[in-house]
Structure formats: C-alpha cells, structure tokens
Structure 1
Amino acid sequence: MDRLGLRCPWPGYPRPSVLLCLLILTASFLTYPMLRTLSQQLLSVVTGSYVSGTYSIVFVNCPNEQIARDIARYYWNGEIEEATEILLLIKTKTSKVRMLSSYIRLVHPFEIPEVFSLPMDQGDVHYLKWLEEGMEEE
C-alpha cells in the first residue's frame, strides 16, 4: 500500500485507496478529448491562429457525376455556386508547405486559394524512398 501511495498521491490524503486512484485515472482518460478540444479552441481565439485538427477533409464516393455535382453545390456571395475545378496534388516536404503556399497565392487567380496539406503517415517504402531522393536538397 505504501508504494501505491507514492505513485498516486492525492492532496491532503497520504494514502488513497486503489478505487480512488482508478476513479481519478478513468475520469482523466474520459475527459481528455473534451479538455484538449476546449484548450485548442481557447488557444485559437486568443492567438488568432489555426489549430491543427480544427477542420477535416471529407472524401465522398459518388455513383455518378450528377450526384457529385448535386452534393458539390455551395453558397458563395449569397448565390448557389457550381464550378468546375481541377484538383492538383503536389507532394513535397512538410517543411516546404509554407513556401509553396506563398508561391501559390502569388500565381493563383482566386483571392483566397484553397491550399492545405495532409501529412503522409504511411506509404509504399519504395515510393517514399523515390520521393525522398527526388527532393534531396542541393
């Protein structure tokens, strides 16, 4: 019991029970996502900056082009907008995304171009090696 008291101290109580210690750990575990989200939102409001994980990209499979067009209609400047766009995928090092975004803002015709990045967590080892070799800095 002495070892548990040393590992799981509770202010004002020299030796908490095992049940109390488990209750505290469970409560901490269950509230962590909520506390993390709230702290990220607070940081975003205070600093005025974007916090990673605030937005998501949603991929949708559609049975045909008409269904995709129906889903893709969106409001812009008070009107329903339908636009044909081309998705350009650029693979680069994460450290170069800001520089690439700056370049795109200079040459893109939109006032605010849609530029975002997703980290590559996994991939074919041979492809990733080839990609790395192609991006070696001089």
Structure 2
Amino acid sequence: MDRLGSRCPLPSCVRPSALVCLLILTTSFLTLPTLRTLVLQLHSAVTGSYVSGTHSIVFVNCPNEQTARDIARAILDKKLAASVNILPKVSSLYFWKGEIEEATEILLLIKTKTSKVLMLSSYIRLLHPFEIPEVFSLAMNQGDVHYLKWFEEAVED
C-alpha cells in the first residue's frame, strides 16, 4: 500500500509539503520590510529609544520650482512622507551621455520612513520629467524625540 504523497504520476513532481515551505518562505521574504518596521517600532516603544535607520531623507533634484512643488505636494497627498523641504537654485555638474553638463536645479529633501523609500522612488519616477531622475536616500541616525513622534504619526504604514 502506498502512502499519500509518496508517489506522483508526473515526473519531477513537487510534494505538497515542499510547496507549503516554498509559499511560507516567499511570503516571509515579501513581508520582510513590513515585519522589520513593526519590530523596530515595537523595540522603540518598549525601550523608549530611537532605532537608527528607521527614517530616511530622500534627495531629489528637479528642473524648476513648479515641478518641485508639484512632486512635493503629490508625495504628501499620498502620505509617502512627513515633510518636504524645497531648496532653490542648487548648482549641479554631472556627466550625461559622455559630456559634463551644468544646470541650476531645485533640491527636494524628503523625510520619510525607510520602509517607504522604494515606493517613494517608484512614485517619483512616474511624476518626474527627467529621463533618469536623481533619487537617493540616507538613513537617519538620531533625531529629536518629539519630532520623530510627529514623524511617525504623519507617515502611514
């Protein structure tokens, strides 16, 4: 008598237990950023300390002030950031298609949760007029406790 799952009519059949393990691993991998955020928030609440890297500042250059304001408002409307600073007239020198270019741009400093950086970056690419917009982030190490509390309330999970 054969046991259930010991034979499979198809060649190289995957047993149900292997499928369940694969599903659990895939689900765990996909939810890792969310789980990490929840664990960091719990740790912070229990210990009363700030966990370095929970929040980030995202830098984005824009061609003009109107574009910068439009992107900033769209980001805030989507609750992808707590605040955005618009710094006017940043001089930029960079390589583009083998040549050194020079431009005056507007710099956005976007404060967000580190768990939102990938989603924020994708959203900015949809809105931004540049072929390859400059989008990069730096994790925050410390901050004022009251500011960080406000920050947590301003950006939805």
Q: TM-score range by the shorter chain?
A: 0.3 to 0.5
- Kindly indicate which of the two structures has a greater share of residues assigned to strand: 2
Q: TM-score, normalization: structure 1?
A: 0.44
Which one scores higher on RCO, CA 8 angstroms, separation ≥ 6? 2
Answer with 1 or 2: which has the greater Rg.
Answer: 1
- Kindly indicate which of the two structures has a greater share of residues assigned to helix: 1
Q: TM-score, normalization: structure 2?
A: 0.39
